[in-house]
Amino acid sequence: MKGLPNMGNLMKKAQQLQEKMAKVQEELGGKTVETSAGGGMVTVVANGKQEIVSIKIDPEVIDANDVEMLEDLVLAAVNDALYQARQMVSEEMTKLTGGIKIPGLM
């Protein structure tokens, strides 16, 4: 049967791709992106696992009379950090897959 050897080769390549993806995902856990809001008043760092690693708030932006502004700055910085982390993951996976969209990976 001519088709079976090709299927075996395809399965081997799929396993190799899976191993490479696991390695890339592990490496991405060590890579970070940093973003800020309010002209640097709030800085957020996220990693490739899309986890927030740190949040720094400039004491000058802390105002008990304007908590809403601080909340907005933190929210904006966190959302941007997570967006950048997703972009970083997407770029790395695109390099790995050669641009082929694999459902559930990106």
pLDDT tens digits for range 10-58: 888 878 878 888 888 888 888 999 999 999 999 999 999 999 999 999 9
Parallel/antiparallel/unpaired status of strands 42-47 and 52-57: antiparallel
103 within domain boundaries: no
Total domains present in the chain: 1
Give the count of beta carbons closer than 10 Å to the beta carbon of residue 39.
Answer: 9
* 75, 78, 82, 88 alpha-carbon torsion, rounded to 10°: 140
Containing structural domain, residue 31: 3-97
DSSP 4: H
105 within domain boundaries: no
Residue 5 has φ and ψ, to the nearest 5°, of -60, -35
Whole-prediction pTM? 0.73
